[in-house]
A and B are shown apart, each in its own frame.
Chain A
Amino acid sequence: MSAATVDSRPSNRVGYVAIAVLMAASIGVQIVRDRGWAPFVPPDPTLWLQSGRVAEKVFLGYRHLVADVYWMRAVVYYGGKRQRAGAQQQSRAPATANFEQLYPLLDLVTSLDPHFLVAYRFGAIFLAEPYPAGPGRPDLAVQLLERGIERDNGRWEYFEDIGFVYYWWIKDYQKAAEWFKRAGEQPGAPAWLEPLAATTLAQGGDRQSSRLLWTQLLASDVEWLRNSAQLRLRQLDAMDQIDELNRRIQEFEAREKKRPTDWRQVGLPSAPLDPTGTPYRVNPKTGLVDLGPGSILFPLPR
């Protein structure tokens, strides 16, 4: 160790270089290791605390923070699974994504923080989503939302969401209308819920009422809800367009006794595009219009 001059502090140039090199090395080692390796996830991951009730007591004053942490886990868990599931679907591998932990996680989050609005709503929507995007459990979705009603002062959003689950996934329009009506009766509910209930009862399953519902959700302040609504609306638009195109085709066929060979024969200047810009395709067997391959609107509902 050499003597340091007193005029200035010891020079640290060697130190800085060493630090940079070592930092780069540590990153390099991680990159090499991470290739083809992911942390082990136990077959049935043990959520040590499965019970929301126990968790409530254990975490005492820090419940909200812990709820946030579990929420983050739920988002990442769900997001990761969705991605893997999506990848599997594209490779036509059997869906092995299992969302078993999603409900317990959401239960935990909402037990720790009963006012965590988004957790109830997120949970409900995605619990209800069928494979491969979700576990396909609308019953659990309703259960979660009912708990929301119980614990979070019966906010109208929960009623509306339950109605929605019945409407879109369970397809019980009677029940859906009931819930929409109850939602409309909650304080702070928007004015369109009552008419929606009426429409649902009258025409449940109708594209018009569906469109109404999704249009309302377009105004939501939750991004993925908005995105979902947008997708659904486009699907409805596409369905309308397909119906119109097929109507024209069938009209032509009835008139000319043969199928049209060009779009101009049914009054269109060029090949029609669906709302995402993907051209429709004509099914050669039926002569009817269908969604083009690769359109993100696939699969159309019902």
Chain B
Amino acid sequence: MRVIRLIAGAVFKESVRDRVPYAMVVFAVLLIAASYLIGQLTAGQDMKTIKDLGLAALSIFGLFIAVFIGIGLVSKEVEKKSVFGLLSKPVSRTQFILGKYAGLVMTLAVNLGVMTMAFFAMLYYMNATTPAGVRAAWPSPAMDPRLLLAIGLIFAELMIVTALALFFSAFSSPLLATLLTLGLWVAGHFNADLRNFENVVDSAVVVAVARGVYYVIPNLAPFDVKAEVVYGMPIAMRAVSFTLIYAAVYIALLLTATVTIFRRRDFK
């Protein structure tokens, strides 16, 4: 435990100082600021646009950070052999992986937190500068606390992506790991279409395969409650709870698989 905490702390220190995630956060904040201008262009849809854009920015930039740091901190480490330094210490390979993951999640949380604060600052500004009449017409309030739920789910989704990045880093090169992680992220969002396959395709075999794939690859679409939150529609808390449980289980699955592979690997 202590070892895991130490490794996590080192990962956090290292990645917080790394320039690329820093740049991502800056970009995201700029985009959120720019969304105000974009909102002006959409004729009355400005609050919706700002929320849409803001949440999308958090999602996309969060994704880049998760993938970049995740891959960088393990795949790169294996390539550059700094992993030798750690593994020759009284540190088991399991502790190595768990410590890395904990550190990555901490970094992600901080980055996402900064972006969220910028986002809410923007919303506060919008709220303060819009007349009451217009505000009443908004489908959901500016500083809607449900936005935090949406962001929380985004964070949960990114925790899965980070675990994915870590998993692929355990056995492939940085480039391949990046491609696989991003590929599965895309596939995970189109997953919902797989579920509808049986409505459209006749072959029972294809439907069975589609169903199988749907269940196995990370199902990321349910983490996206942006539409409900922006439209002020109710969110099924039962579904959300199950989705969070799914996240926990899937992350555990990925970490177990990562440790299993990592333990038997040769580091040439």
Contacts and interface: CB of A to CB of B under 8 A. Distances in A.
Interface stretch (A26-34, A123-131, A230-238, A270-278): A26-34
A181 B168 CA distance: 60
A25 B94 CA distance: 22
Given A1-B92, A12-B264, 8 more contacts: A15-B256, A23-B216, A26-B246, A29-B242, A33-B238, A43-B231, A76-B193, A79-B199
Nearest to B254: A22
Dominant SS at the A interface? Answer: helix
A15 B259 contact: yes
A40 B92 contact: no
Interface in A61-77: 72-73, 75-76
21 contacts: A9-B263, A9-B264, A10-B264, A12-B264, A15-B257, A15-B259, A15-B260, A15-B263, A16-B260, A18-B256, A22-B249, A23-B216, A25-B249, A29-B246, A30-B219, A33-B222, A33-B239, A34-B195, A37-B238, A42-B231, A79-B196
B75 to A, nearest CB: 21
A90 to B, nearest CB: 15
Which 5 pairs, one residue from A and one from B, show the smallest C-beta to C-beta distance? A79-B200, A33-B242, A15-B260, A22-B253, A1-B92
Interface of A: 1, 9-10, 12, 15-16, 18-19, 22-23, 25-27, 29-34, 37, 39-40, 42-43, 72-73, 75-76, 79-80, 82-83
B264 A76 contact: no
Contact of B199 (A9, A25, A42, A80): A80
B231 A32 contact: no
Given A39-B192, A43-B231, A75-B200, A26 B253 contact: yes
A18 B257 CA distance: 9
Contacts of A26: 215, 246, 249-250, 253
A33 B196 contact: no
A33 to B, nearest CB: 4
Contacts of A19: 253, 256-257, 260
Interface of B: 92, 94-95, 192-193, 195-197, 199-200, 215-216, 219, 221-222, 225, 227-228, 231, 233, 236, 238-239, 242-243, 245-246, 249-250, 252-253, 256-257, 259-260, 263-264
A283 B239 CA distance: 52
A252 B233 CA distance: 66
A1 B95 contact: yes
Contacts of B195: 34
Dominant SS at the B interface? Answer: helix
Contacts of B95: 1
A219 to B, nearest CB: 20
B212 to A, nearest CB: 9
Contacts of A39: 192, 221-222
Contacts of A76: 193, 196-197, 199-200
A227 to B, nearest CB: 10
A31 B199 CA distance: 18
B256 A10 contact: no
A83 B197 CA distance: 11
A72 B225 CA distance: 23
A152 B106 CA distance: 54
Given A15-B256, A19-B253, A27-B215, A40 B227 contact: yes
Contacts of A82: 199
A80 B196 contact: yes
A33 B200 contact: no
Given A10-B263, A10-B264, A30-B246, A37 B236 contact: yes
Nearest to B250: A26
Nearest to A84: B199
Contacts of A79: 196, 199-200
B227 A42 contact: yes
Given A15-B256, A42-B231, A30 B215 contact: yes
A297 B122 CA distance: 60
A40 B249 contact: no
A23 B215 CA distance: 9
Contacts of A72: 193
A32 B192 CA distance: 16
Contacts of A15: 256-257, 259-260, 263
Nearest to B94: A1
A113 to B, nearest CB: 19
